[in-house]
């Protein structure tokens, strides 16, 4: 997002803080977090009510996650900040990790456990919030595993996490989309032994560091083992990972190509983002580089 209707700066990520009228936001090329208050029935204004700086000034374009009690944000493994939402004060800061990897996503599993997912090598770390973010365990890495499918471990990986009834827990699986349409699924309960990698048929490598590329994987909040993928071509594809084994090549069972088909522009239209509706089954919202916004469902649902 180049800008929000409430922000004059480029927006990197926005998330609602549960049970409040507040949203947390990180901006591109900055190292801080902004808290904004949404208007109510008496006003439509969105006001910035708090700015929280990251002590590590090399942090850029941080990712974030929220619960009703806390917000975590950061762009590298050694600059993750933990914020208490009741006071808006930083209560923890990660440090002293030998592998200071760039982050793609952060996931709060509960009040005590944070997952930090890295851009390279498909690394997934578990951090203990009770230890002030000073201790962590690398649950999985493509550096230390082998598979029937060859992949470029140095390339960019992006993540989402399975949800049960819309909630994340220790039993959730982490899915990661990597180069060439490779997808890794990791069971958090036994990460090193349970992981498998599948290949999405027809998908090619995407350099996610280019401005025009928006590789994205999203898990369905209502159907286990169903995911959607965009950014590897000009469509959104829906896949089922049910009963998949390591090395499988899977076909999409539904493709939405409406952004390109409905555009009156002469240039190629890319999918900039997509997301599943949190409780209406099979409803997906997606946006295109031409400014289009679509709401659609899989055929037969």
Residue 199 lies inside a defined structural domain of this protein: yes
Residues 258 and 156 in one domain: yes
Could you read off the pLDDT of 143-199 as tens digits, one per residue? 755 444 444 444 689 999 987 766 776 677 899 998 888 999 888 888 877 778 899
Residues 73 and 16 in one domain: yes
Tell me the pTM.
0.86
Residues 200 and 266 in one domain: yes
Residues 157 and 68 in one domain: no
Residue 19 lies inside a defined structural domain of this protein: yes
User: Taking the CA atoms of the chain, what radius of gyration do you get in angstroms?
Assistant: 19
Residue 48 lies inside a defined structural domain of this protein: yes
Residue 250 lies inside a defined structural domain of this protein: yes
Residues 164 and 299 in one domain: yes
By the 10 Å C-beta count (0-12 exposed, 13-18 middle, 19+ buried), 130 is classed as exposed
Residue 154 lies inside a defined structural domain of this protein: yes
Residues 96 and 145 in one domain: no
Tell me phi and psi for residue 281, to 5 degrees: -55, 135
Could you read off the pLDDT of 75-100 as tens digits, one per residue? 999 889 999 999 999 998 888 887 77
How many beta carbons lie within 10 A of that of residue 131, not counting itself?
A: 11
In the listed set 68, 100, 132, which residue is the last one of a domain according to the structure? 100
Residues 298 and 163 in one domain: yes
Residue 290 lies inside a defined structural domain of this protein: yes
Residues 168 and 83 in one domain: no
Residue 114 lies inside a defined structural domain of this protein: no
286: containing domain = 141-301
Residues 6+ apart with CB under 8 A from 182: 149, 151, 197, 198, 199, 200
**Domain at 206, CATH number:** 2.130.10.10
Tell me, what's the pLDDT at 272?
A: 85
Do the bridges between strand 196-200 and strand 249-250 make them parallel or antiparallel, or are there none, so unpaired?
parallel
In the listed set 72, 100, 128, which residue is the last one of a domain according to the structure? 100
Could you read off the pLDDT of 195-215 as tens digits, one per residue? 788 999 877 655 444 444 558
How many beta carbons lie within 10 A of that of residue 257, not counting itself?
A: 14
Residues 50 and 168 in one domain: no
Question: How many domains does the chain divide into?
Answer: 2
């Amino acid at each position: 997002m180049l800008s929000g209707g409430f922000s004059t700066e480029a927006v990197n990520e926005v998330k609602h803080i549960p049970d409040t009228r507040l949203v947390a936001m990180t901006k591109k090329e900055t190292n801080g977090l902004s808290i904004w208050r949404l208007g109510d029935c008496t006003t439509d204004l969105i006001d910035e009510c708090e700015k929280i700086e990251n002590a590590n000034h090399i942090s850029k374009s941080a990712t974030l996650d929220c619960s009703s009690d806390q917000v975590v944000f950061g762009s590298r493994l050694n600059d993750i900040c933990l914020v208490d939402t009741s006071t808006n004060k930083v209560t923890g800061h990660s440090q002293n990790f030998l592998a200071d990897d760039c982050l793609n996503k952060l996931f709060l599993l509960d009040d005590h456990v944070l997952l930090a997912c890295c851009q390279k090598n498909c690394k997934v770390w578990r951090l203990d919030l009770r230890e002030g973010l000073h201790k962590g365990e690398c649950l999985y890495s493509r550096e230390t595993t082998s598979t029937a499918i060859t992949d470029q471990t140095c390339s960019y990986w992006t993540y989402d996490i399975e949800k049960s009834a819309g909630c994340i827990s220790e039993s959730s699986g982490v899915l990661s989309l990597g180069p060439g349409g490779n997808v890794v699924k990791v069971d958090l309960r036994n990460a090193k032994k349970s992981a498998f990698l599948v290949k999405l048929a027809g998908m090619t490598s995407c350099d996610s560091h280019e401005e025009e590329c928006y590789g994205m994987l999203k898990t369905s909040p209502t159907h286990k083992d169903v995911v959607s993928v965009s950014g590897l071509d000009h469509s959104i594809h829906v896949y089922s990972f049910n009963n998949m084994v390591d090395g499988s090549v899977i076909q999409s069972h539904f493709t939405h190509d409406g952004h390109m088909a409905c555009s009156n522009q002469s240039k190629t239209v890319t999918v900039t983002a997509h997301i599943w509706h949190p409780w209406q089954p099979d409803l997906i919202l997606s946006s295109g580089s031409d400014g289009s916004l679509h709401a659609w469902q899989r055929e037969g649902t």
